[in-house]
């Protein structure tokens, strides 16, 4: 399937029963933990009916769209290197993000990774050190000069009017850790691991990562994460405000679906303005 197949008219996937519950008069009653209707939303896995298999567009990532749940899924697909990115990878993510932003059927964007059970699970391990050049940049032959357009991607993510949810299993470290922080929401499996590695390799994040981290966890904790390059469990990350929620691995997919379905019930204009 090619990019031309992405131009079908939008479909409405809102669960009517859940929406009616949201609009009921009980919303004016004193709140309880179940009053918001979140528990009424289905956790059935998202079905992706549009899959782009055009290798002229994507090699290092996969791109899928669910017209029923109005979301796009961008997933790193380099499990042999813990989904570390090279210049091609970043350019493909940027292309997919632009496609999702322009697609009127998409209300929410997922940034994830393809999990291969026989390999170590990972979201993204940052820059691929095997293509790091002697000049300090990254060179995989796809750019005129060794460069990694990570800051361009970070800016694009923050300017995208649609919510971006990072779905994390396994390692989210280095530049991969930055990408989940730049996302609007992070939902993690219980096997997720978070941390920075740059200073151990003589590098640091000169983009949004440093400021995002300080805003999320506070300056003291952010300095700890950079200075020590420690790894933190999903529960530790949740407690410090680095991520939004942690779920058992076998429940993560369903809970992500629930969050997506709840978001698309809301005004896309309001969500864009809040972002």
Please provide residue 51's backbone torsions phi and psi, each rounded to the nearest 5 degrees: -125, 120
- What pLDDT score was predicted for residue 6? 52
Identify the pLDDT of residue 21: 46
Q: What is the pLDDT of residue 147?
A: 76
Residue 207: per-residue pLDDT: 84
Give the pLDDT confidence score for residue 9 in this predicted structure.
45
Coil, strand, or helix at residue 205?
coil
pLDDT at 175: 94
pLDDT by 10-residue block (mean), the chain, 275 residues: 52 48 48 77 97 95 98 98 94 98 98 94 89 68 76 97 99 97 98 95 85 96 97 98 98 98 97 96
d(CA 188, CA 201): 26
Smallest Cα–Cα separation from 106: which of 273, 220, 272, 274? 272
In the chain, the domains with their CATH numbers are 64-274 (3.90.226.10)
For helices 150-159 and 175-182, angle between their N-to-C axes, nearest 10 degrees: 10
- Burial class for 34, CB neighbours closer than 10 Å (0-12, 13-18, 19+): exposed
Phi, psi of 198 (to 5 degrees): -50, -55
Distance, first Cα to last Cα, the chain: 32
What's the length of the chain?
Answer: 275
3-state secondary structure of 245: strand
pLDDT at 42: 96
Q: At what angle do helices 150-159 and 87-102 cross, to 10 degrees?
A: 20
Token pair belonging to 141: 């032959």
| pLDDT of amino acid 128 | 77
pLDDT of residue 63: 98
Given this model, what pLDDT does residue 255 score? 98
- What is this structure's pTM? 0.85
């Amino acid at each position: 399937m090619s990019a031309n197949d992405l131009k079908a008219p939008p479909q409405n996937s809102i669960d009517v029963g859940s929406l009616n519950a949201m609009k009921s008069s009980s919303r004016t009653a004193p709140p309880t933990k179940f009053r918001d209707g979140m528990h009424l939303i289905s956790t059935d896995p998202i079905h992706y009916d549009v899959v782009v298999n055009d290798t002229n567009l994507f090699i290092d990532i996969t791109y899928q769209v669910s017209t029923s749940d109005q979301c796009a899924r961008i997933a790193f697909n380099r499990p042999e290197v813990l989904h570390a990115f090279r210049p091609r990878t970043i350019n493909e993510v940027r292309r997919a993000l632009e496609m999702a932003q322009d697609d009127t059927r998409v209300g929410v964007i997922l940034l994830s990774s393809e999990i291969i059970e026989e390999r170590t699970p990972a979201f993204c391990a940052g820059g691929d050190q095997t293509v790091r050049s002697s000049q300090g940049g990254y060179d995989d032959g796809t750019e005129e000069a060794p460069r990694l357009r990570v800051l361009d991607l970070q800016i694009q993510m923050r300017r995208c009017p649609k919510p971006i949810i990072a779905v994390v299993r396994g390692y989210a470290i280095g530049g991969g850790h930055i990408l989940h922080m730049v996302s609007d929401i992070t939902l993690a499996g219980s096997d997720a691991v978070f941390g920075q590695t740059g200073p151990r390799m003589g590098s640091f994040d000169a983009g949004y990562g440093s400021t995002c981290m300080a805003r999320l966890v506070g300056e003291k904790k952010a300095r700890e994460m950079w200075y020590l390059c420690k790894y933190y469990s999903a529960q530790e990350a949740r407690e410090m405000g680095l991520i939004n929620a942690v779920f058992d691995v076998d429940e993560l997919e369903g809970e992500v679906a629930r969050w997506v379905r709840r978001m698309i019930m809301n005004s896309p204009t309001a969500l864009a303005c809040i972002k």
